[in-house]
Amino acid sequence: MNETVKTQLNHKSIRKFKIEKLSDDTIEILTAVARHTATSNFMQSYSIVCLTDKKKMQALSEICNQHYVAEASHVFVFVADQHRNQQIAKENQQETSVLTSMDRFMLGMTDACLAAQNVNLAAESMGIGTVFLGSILNDARGVIELLNLPKKTFPILGLAFGYPDQEPQLKPRLPKEVMFFDNEYKVVNDIKQELSDYDTIVTDYYDLRDANKRIDSFTKQITDGMSRRPAKRMDILKEVQKQGLLLD
């Protein structure tokens, strides 16, 4: 097993960072990694906003409801970006209505996610702690305004990182049998029974954590999550459309 795979299999979210900041050279490397990520149709339909301003990081941490966002060295926000491509096309007198399609939104979202994962792996390989921030969508409009995002763009996810100041346990993952299939999807008839051993493992994992102890099984967490409907997250599609995307 090579060092890259070892790093991937040892992935942990870090939620406590040292005060020491990452160097400009380190950020330049991570930016280069993002820029060289695979991209759909070579359109490079994404951008990154790097946050170091403490007021903006604090504002984002309040949106995310995660205090450690403000304590990170840097935060990258990955943005689906058709604004730049629209500019290029318009300057070449080309009609751009295709940019409102589901296809073009998916291109931008996919590019953003690929870049985020690539940066995450590079950072972890350098001994940097990371945590993904899907929570930026707790208030998409707030993030759009905070980052001054133009039309035809939309924030997809964030990545907070810095030197780690904790060593959490490795979080247990779903068993291969329920999520990896040969040639076609396999429906599991009694999924709760199939996951009974995994539920026990998850319960033990949360029970052994030093902080934020939880004893809920995986299936209970999934079940309870079905009743949560945060108003602003339920309006994400509307916010995407306000940005001039997904109109078709």
**Mean per-residue pLDDT, 175-197:** 96
Provide the pLDDT for residue 204.
Answer: 84
Residue 218 sits in the same domain as residue 236 = no
Provide the pLDDT for residue 236.
Answer: 97
Residue 235 sits in the same domain as residue 207 = no
Strand 74-81, strand 129-133: pairing: unpaired
In-domain check, residue 122 = yes
pLDDT digits (tens, 9 = 90+) for 175-184: 999 999 999 9
In-domain check, residue 88 = yes
Structural domain count of the chain: 2
pLDDT digits (tens, 9 = 90+) for 4-16: 999 999 999 999 9
Scan for tokens 């759009």, then name that residue. 144
DSSP secondary structure, 184-202, as one string:
S----TTHHHHTHHHHHHH
CA angle at 90 for the pair 88 and 91, rounded to the nearest 5°? 65
Residue 49 sits in the same domain as residue 102 = yes
> For the chain, what is the radius of gyration of the CA atoms?
20
- Helix ranges, 100-151 (H): 102-125, 140-147
Residue 42 sits in the same domain as residue 159 = yes
CATH of residue 156: 3.40.109.10
Worst-scoring range by mean pLDDT, 12-21, 91-100, 208-217?
A: 208-217
More confident residue, 125 or 214: 125
In-domain check, residue 248 = no
Residue 159 sits in the same domain as residue 195 = no
In-domain check, residue 64 = yes
Residue 196 sits in the same domain as residue 75 = no
Residue 65 sits in the same domain as residue 81 = yes
pLDDT digits (tens, 9 = 90+) for 102-119: 999 999 999 999 999 999
Residue 125 sits in the same domain as residue 150 = yes
Residue 164 sits in the same domain as residue 181 = no
**Mean per-residue pLDDT, 21-48:** 98
Provide the pLDDT for residue 205.
Answer: 82
In-domain check, residue 133 = yes
Domain that holds residue 197: 176-223
In-domain check, residue 53 = yes
**Mean per-residue pLDDT, 164-182:** 94
Residue 161 sits in the same domain as residue 183 = no
Can you tell me the distance from the alpha carbon of 115 to that of 37, in angstroms, rounded to the nearest whole number? 6
Closest CA to 168 of 13, 20, 19, 18: 13
Provide the pLDDT for residue 169.
Answer: 86
Residue 182 sits in the same domain as residue 84 = no
Residue 217 sits in the same domain as residue 114 = no
Question: Is 60 exceeded by the pLDDT of residue 207?
Answer: no
